[in-house]
Each structure stands twice: as C-alpha cells, then as structure tokens.
Amino acid sequence: MAIFVTGSTGYLGGYLVAGFLREHRDMLNLLVRAKSEQEARERLWKSLQLHFEFPEFSEYLDTRVRIFLGDLTNERFGLPDDAYHDLVDSTESIVHCAASLNRKSERQCLNVNLRGALEVIQLARRAQNRNGLRRYSHVSTVAVAGRRQDEIVTEAASIDWARSDYDPYARTKKFGEHMVHQLLPDVPVTIFRPAIVLGDSRWPQTTQFDMVQAFDVLARLPVLPLQPDDRIDIVPANYVGKAIVTIHQKEAPVHTIYHLSSGVGSQTFRELTDALAAAGGTSRPSYWPWLGGPFSGMVNWLSRRGGTTGYGASLLNVFWPYLNWNTVFDNSRVVAELGGEAPAKFSTYAYPLLKFSRENKFRYPARSWPLPASSPIPAIAGQVHA
C-alpha cells in the first residue's frame, strides 16, 4: 500500500516527497504529467535535486516510487481502466498538494483547483469504498480567509462566506476545502493552510522565484509605501513540508485544520528591511504609507507593459493585497503538534535567499539527468513501476 501524492514535481511537493522518502518507509504513488517514463523521471529529478544527490534519488526512485503517467484535470487522470484500478487498490492515504497559483486566471484556477481536486476526491472516495482510506490530507492556503485587515485569524474563524475573496486562487481553494468536507464525511481529513511560503531556512537555494522577485523589487526601493510596523506572515518551505509529512503520518492528529504560518511571531516590514540592510550593507528604506494608493495604481499601470519592469510590476500587482493586509494566522496548533517547534524567522535567511536568487537571475541552476537516457520501458496501461 502507498501514499498517493499530487504535485510531486512542484516546489512544495518536492519537500513532501523528500520528507516521506527520508523519514518513513511507505511506498509512494506519484502522478506525473509526462509522455514517457524517462520524461517523468527527469521531471522528478528537477524537483527533487534540492533534496537529494542523484545516487540517493535514483535508489528511492527504483525501490519506493510508482509513477503514474497522467494529468490531474483529466477524468480518472487520463489513466486506462487497469492502471486506475491499480491506483485505487494500492492507495492507502492521499496528500493532495497540486494547485494552480495563477492568481489572475480564473479559468486555470477553476480547472486545476476545483476540477483537479474533484478527481482526487473521487479517487479518495473509491479507495475508501474499496479498502478504507487512512487519511486524506488537503493542502489549501490561509488566503481562504478572504479580505482581512489588521487581524489575527484562527483556523476556526478563517472561512467566512460573507467575505469577498482577493483573487480566483483564494476563491477556488476555499471551495476546494468545502468539497473535501462535503464529499468525504467518512474519511479522516486534514486541511493544511500555508501562509506565504518563501525559501528554506536551512539553505539559500530555491526553485520558486515569483514571490522572491516581488520582494526583490521592494527591497531595492528607497521608499516603501507600507506601514513599517505592519506584520507579514512568511513561513519557510522546510517547515511547511515537515509539518504536512509529520501530521499526515500521525495516527490521530489533534485537529482537522492547521495554519502553517508564523502566527504572532510574524515580523514587521521594519524588522525585515533592517535585517536585509544590515546583512547587505545598504541603507534602510524610508516608509511613506500614504503613497500606498498611488503606488498601487502605478504598479497596475506598469504591469500592462512588457519587459523586466512590466514583469516585476505584474508580480507586485498580484501579491500586493497580501503585503498590506497586516493579517497573521495563529499557528499554535501546528507548533503544539510539532512538539513546540516554531518556524524560523524570515529575517534569519532572507538575505542569503535574495543573494542566491539575484546571482542566478531568478532561475534555479538545475542539473540535467546525469546518465545517458536508456531506452524507456513502455508504460504498461499508462503506468510505470519504478
């Protein structure tokens, strides 16, 4: 029996796969969008080389991983009947991590975050009916809380259907949680809501750069249109990955929903810019919060232009609501579940993260597959046993 993980070739999904492989003994069923076994293996290697050297990765791939060649948004993932039935019969628990973070495209968010989630829920339903499902873990987001200002939000108070949402991403993730509760009432369910996931507190390398680029633009400004004492809830990816893996594997987690966040320990903009200035030997910015409106309008205008400036402005335009809402999410549940371990503060690793990202021009220097690609073994009935 195995843990079925979606989103394994994504940034956070890589942390989950690495955590399960290193810290537990379960087999993993991984859904990978690829045309061949070799392409699927190379996609996994690109995602997991943050965590493994190739020999260790290759050994895990050969002994602990089963790859299913499919697409989240296709009916039954596009698998032939025998492969899909094998997936149902061999799945003992599920971690649904895959998502579209495209905050501008409602079509893409609907397709992946709702249609795709429904396919995973249907798999869970069939696995539960067949052999029983130990746990269904659903990775959501704190953004399901909708429009907020100057609040500390608990898990129980996050969903308020009377509130409007910031973007299609937040809206579809909120409905995704609703589907899980409505359609899997007899399955042990855990909902994880990460805050802004940014970098790794153990090393400077990252493969996810959108939010880093938005912070890079802000870090270069001599004047910031923000309230210096507003807090921003940032959590490192290694903490989020550890929390999901640990709680998913527990026999009886204390709660159903967990904020994976910095909570009341979230730092202020002033604390972050002071730390960046000290580490980089630069001047501290001035804060002119009254410029927030004009700045937002200018960013919106620039985002419609091309080139590097337009791209940087488009990133800021997408993330701006989450930068000035001064809202943090209580994390006492996850801290208690992890034996008192709180996430590292962003200021302790922000400068190395920015330095690495700038030096690599916001691209991860991915290593290619180190061995000559052998003739791919045909995927029998849409499935590869690795």
CATH number at residue 179: 3.40.50.720
pLDDT at 90: 98
Whether residue 279 is contained in a domain is answered as no
Whether residue 288 is contained in a domain is answered as no
With a cut of 60, say whether residue 288 has pLDDT above it.
Answer: yes
Whether residue 116 is contained in a domain is answered as yes
Whether residue 359 is contained in a domain is answered as no
Whether residue 128 is contained in a domain is answered as yes
218: confidence class by pLDDT, cuts 50, 70, 90 = confident
Boundaries of domain holding 243? 2-198+233-264+327-344+364-385
pLDDT at 306: 72
Out of 183-192, 260-269, 333-342, 367-376, least confident range: 367-376
pLDDT at 48: 97
pLDDT at 193: 98
Strand partners, 214: none
* Number of domains present in the structure of the chain: 1
Across the chain, mean pLDDT equals 92
372: confidence class by pLDDT, cuts 50, 70, 90 = low
pTM over 0.85: yes
Q: What is the pLDDT of residues 303-314, one digit of tens each?
A: 777 776 777 777
pLDDT at 371: 64
Whole-angstrom CA distances from 135 to 12, 20, 23, 112, 277 are 19, 15, 18, 22, 45
Mean pLDDT of 188-216: 95
With a cut of 50, say whether residue 380 has pLDDT above it.
Answer: no
Whether residue 71 is contained in a domain is answered as yes
Reported in sequence order, the residue ranges of the chain that DSSP labels E, i.e. its strands, are 2-6, 27-32, 65-69, 91-96, 136-139, 151-153, 189-194, 196-197, 223-224, 231-232, 234-235, 257-260, 267-268, 286-287, 327-329, 383-385
Whether residue 272 is contained in a domain is answered as no
Whether residue 60 is contained in a domain is answered as yes
Mean pLDDT of 28-45: 96
